[in-house]
Each structure stands twice: as C-alpha cells, then as structure tokens.
Amino acid sequence: MPLTRRPLRVAALSMTLLATPFALWAQDAPFTGADIDAAVWTAGDLPSGRSALTARVQILLDRSGVSPGVVDGFRGGMSETAIKAFERKNGLAVDGVMDADVWALLQPHATTPVTQDYTITRADAEGLVESVPTDYAEKAKMTWLGYTSVAEKLAERFHMDERFIQFLNPGKAIAPGETITVMAPAKPLKGQVVRIIVDKAAHRVAAYDAGGRLVADYPATVGSSSTPSPTGTHKVEAVATNPEYTYNPKINFQQGENTEVLRIPPGPNGPVGTVWIDLDKPTYGIHGTPTPSRLFVNASYGCVRLTNWDAEELAHMVKAGTTVVEFLDPGVSIADVTDPVAPPAPVAAAAIEAGALPLSWPAGGVAPRARPTALGAAMATAAGGAVPPVTAAAPNTSAATLPRPAAGASPEAPGGSIAADPLAAALDSASDGILPVQPAETPEPASGFVLPTAPLTGADG
C-alpha cells in the first residue's frame, strides 16, 4: 500500500538494498557534474564504458528531441541508436559514431549547463511504496504501484538511471533536505504528431508533424518473435495516463499459479508504466515501462514499449482519430518511408569558422557555452535555411473508450526493494538479439489518472 508516513525509512531501505549491486556497477573512474559540463569531444567515437563526455552527449541528444533513453554516461545500445537517429534527422551519414558534424549540430542545445543542483523536498519522499511484489495476485491487492525510493522517483524526473544519481553524489543521502547533482534534460516537447513510424529493427519510434518534419525520436522495444507487433498502419484511438492493467492468462501467458483474470492497479511500476496510447487494433498500444534501464532487454508482448517520460511526452502530442502509427516491414527503415533530409554543407567547418565551435577547451575548465546566434547562422547557412518551429498543440488525454491494456511483458524489478521477476529470463530469451544494453532511467507519473471503462479483454504489454 502507498506509504505517506514513513518515506525516510523507505528511502534508506532502498539505498541499502542497492548498495551491493551499485558497488559492482561503479568500478570505473569517478567524475562530477562539473566534469560533465566541461566535457568536450575532440576526435573519435565516444569512450567505451562510462564517461562524462557520453553523459553530456546524452543530454544534448535529449534536448534535441532525439531521446537516448536513460542518461547514465554509458556508451551503449540506446546511445548508439540515438546518434543514428540524430544523424538521420540532420541528413548526415548514419553510422551511430560520434564525429565533428554530430558534435557541431548538438551545440545549439548546449547553451545552458547540462547538470544542475537540486534540493530534495519532503514531497519527493511522499507516495512511495515499500516494495512491489513479483506475483501478479499480490500486485492486484495493492492500490498504487508507486516508486520504491526517492532515487527512483528523481531518476525518472531527470531522465537518469537511479544508480547514476548515486554515482554523481557519493556519500550523500538521497533524502529530503539534501542537495544533489542531477542532469538538466529538455522540457517536454509541445507539438502535434500526425504520423508515428515504428522500426523494430532499429529499436526506434519516430514522430512526425503534418509537414513531414521529425518532431521526436525515441528508443523502443517492439514485440518479439513469439508475440510480434502488428503490421501495417493503425490509428490512435485514445490515451490513458496511469492506466490499470489487465492480466489474462487465457490471452497471453500464465504468471506463476495465477489462472484468473486480475486487475493490476496503476502506477509508474505497473506493467505498462504511466501511459497507454491505445491503437485501433484491439489490445495493442504504445506504453511506458517500470524498468527503463532494461528497455533493450525485456521483450514486449506485441506492443511498443518506451521509457515513461518518452511515452508521456508522445501522449501529449498525438490526437485520437488522427494520428496514424505505421509498423515497418522487415528490411524497411524509417529513411525508406520518409522524405530525404538534405545533408548540411561542412557543418563543423562552418561553425568553427564562425567562431562558435572551438576545437578544444582549457584543461580542467568549464566548457564555454556555444554562441547560439553565430552557430545557428552557420548551420542554417550550411543546411540551406532555418528549421521551422514545432507547432504547439494541447495535450490529449481522453480515455473514455479505452480498453484496459491486459497481460503484457512482466515488468522486471527496477532495483531497490523490488524483487526480480521470474519471467525475466523467458522474456529476455524472446527479445531476438536486441542491441547491447546500457543502464537506464524513469519519469515521474502524470498528475491524476484516467481509468479505461471498456470490458476486460486480453491485451499485449
């Protein structure tokens, strides 16, 4: 049940339980928020393992509308697919490798620090739950599948892996009153998305406006060989925030000894996370996840799984009855079904010549902020003109006719006091050679929630 009177004890308990795996996870050299803000690319790909430079690039990608998934400082599968998506967005050669042009095109998003200080409030420690059980029958007894620690809650808010929060704040208690270093991600985009393209092979979901311009691009897990995603084109029917989840063993899988239909309560640690974007194909949708760090590991039962914060952002830009979702056939890429983007003229050279992109920064100093006017002009000239702004659109959260999303991929425990899910191995084996994993993060639940009202039916997760 939700905890509102013992948040400090729960936070301490979660930190204790995380201590052992974190010690194994963080053997590489430490760095600080200042190091991330001072990091500069000079040559070659991003460093292997974890680095301040990779963390900086991840946030700049996040600010550009190309989500890297969780920000954790690791060069991994999600960061690689994000760089590829950024290259595709800007008409560059797509190889997923950091280079001068990618770095130059990221600089307009580097005009403010990528890290910030944050003082934890008492409100941050409210609404936590002591644990989230693995067994679905036990889940069904709860009223809210909330966060199990302050670290998990803040990680989602700042698009970070919760262990990365600990890494940047050694020796600090992640508890009210403490001031910690966190990342400074982009604010949610405000646009109107009319077309969503799902590319299972690339593990990306691309969202376009009415003019055919890429608005946002997200990492995703899409179905598996045993439970494939839909084919063809479908429409968005409704959106529900913090939806309930229906477990139906007759439709999908049987979890443990649970043979009855169960209604799982809402919450960020629910099987479909904080958002369900319902499609016109029954039981299928785009949704969040309780375990963003395992986005490229856990399989999805035919649906499209995003991080909670990415799913929430997308949900506010779609329109029921208008937005279409296209599932690409094998061998077809996003570039194959969208208009080509004119490659920029030598962007890096133009930016350096304009004085907006220095070749190097003083050792140990904070990287000077890019000059937005000069750099923007250099890039606009190189690319042949300015990029039109995204048209703002009011969020759509109607869910009056939304069927309850039912049985889907069983959520793996995101750490803290959540037990490991016995279905994880089976789900991992169904994920068809997905790209290398990197640790990840999670967002804060949307305020309020809308429960679906249609009869219970089986659904994919």
Arithmetic mean of pLDDT, 66-92: 96
Domain membership flag for residue 265: yes
Domain membership flag for residue 201: yes
pLDDT value of residue 227: 58
Count of structural domains within the chain: 1
Whether the Cβ atoms of residue 217 and residue 423 lie closer than 8 Å to each other: no
Residue 183 has pLDDT above 80, yes or no: yes
First to last CA, the chain: 24
Whether the Cβ atoms of residue 15 and residue 174 lie closer than 8 Å to each other: yes
pLDDT value of residue 374: 36
Whether the Cβ atoms of residue 167 and residue 30 lie closer than 8 Å to each other: yes
Domain membership flag for residue 407: yes
Residue 408: CB partners within 8 Å, gap ≥ 6? 245, 252, 271, 272, 287, 300, 301, 303, 459, 460, 461
Arithmetic mean of pLDDT, 351-378: 41
Structural domain including 300 reads 195-335+393-429
pTM of the model: 0.74
Domain membership flag for residue 418: yes
Domain membership flag for residue 377: no
Q: Which residue has the tokens 């077309």?
A: 195
The structure tokens listed for 2 are 């939700």
Domain membership flag for residue 273: yes
Nearest-CA neighbor of 315 among 343, 275, 346, 373?
275
Nearest-CA neighbor of 79 among 91, 92, 97?
97
Strand partners, 287: 276, 305
Residue of higher predicted confidence among 455 and 305? 305
Q: Which helix (H) or strand (E) holds 305?
A: strand 304-305
Domain membership flag for residue 316: yes
Q: Which residue has the tokens 């077809």?
A: 332
Nearest-CA neighbor of 349 among 384, 381, 386?
381
How many CB atoms sit inside 10 A of residue 33's CB? 21
Domain membership flag for residue 416: yes
CATH of the domain at 300: 2.40.440.10
pLDDT in tens, 86-107: 999 999 999 999 999 999 999 9
